[in-house]
Amino acid sequence: MPSTPDSSPRDPWAVPAPAPPPEATPVPPAPGPVIIVVGDMGVTSTVVHTPAGDIPLAGSAWQVNDYWHTEQKIPTWAIVAAVAGFCVLTVFSLLFLLVKQTTYRGTVQVTVTNGTQQYVSRIPVADQNQVTQIHQQVNYVRSLAAL
């Protein structure tokens, strides 16, 4: 009985032909070094590194909100003066307890959005100079995002 190519028995010891190599996929360029750090976000020339993942820099929108509150408290020196002066001048030493010290505290909230990706960073601040610096950093990043 003549054998046909379709009905020939297979050799159990034959090695199958290797599969063709997969097509090479282009590797995206490395994002490069961090140019500026805003809160817990690192900004490179192409991406924004956040703890939640990377967000593309091109086309990103940045928003800054300031949240301030004030606290008034009696300073430590006034309490010490009131206690120490209580032995000498009882009534007048209690006037030290009327002294109040105002401290400003707050956070600056920086939001970066690109498409459906969004990340919010809250940066604690203690004075207006820190707020101004954060605004300047975000304005610089906005200029990078527009390129």
pLDDT tens for each residue of 39-71: 888 888 888 888 888 888 888 899 999 998 888
**DSSP label at residue 11:** P
Burial of 103 (0-12, 13-18, 19+ CB in 10 A): exposed
**DSSP label at residue 145:** H
Alpha carbon distance 95, 73 (integer Å): 15
Which secondary structure element, helix H or strand E, spans residue 143, and what is its range? helix 128-146
Q: pLDDT value at position 139?
A: 93
Q: Where are the domains of the chain?
A: 36-73+102-146
Residue-wise pLDDT for 90-147, tens only, equals 777 888 888 898 888 899 999 999 888 899 999 999 888 899 999 999 999 998 888 7
Given pLDDT bands bounded at 50, 70 and 90, which one contains residue 7?
low
Which phi and psi (to 5°) does residue 94 adopt? -70, -15
Which phi and psi (to 5°) does residue 65 adopt? -130, 135
Do residues 92 and 85 touch, judged by C-beta distance below 8 A?
yes
Tokens of 91: 């009534």
Q: Spell out the SS3 assignment of 35-87.
A: CEEECCEEECCCEEEECCEEEECCCCEEEEEEEEEEEEECCHHHHHHHHHHHC
Which secondary structure element, helix H or strand E, spans residue 138, and what is its range? helix 128-146
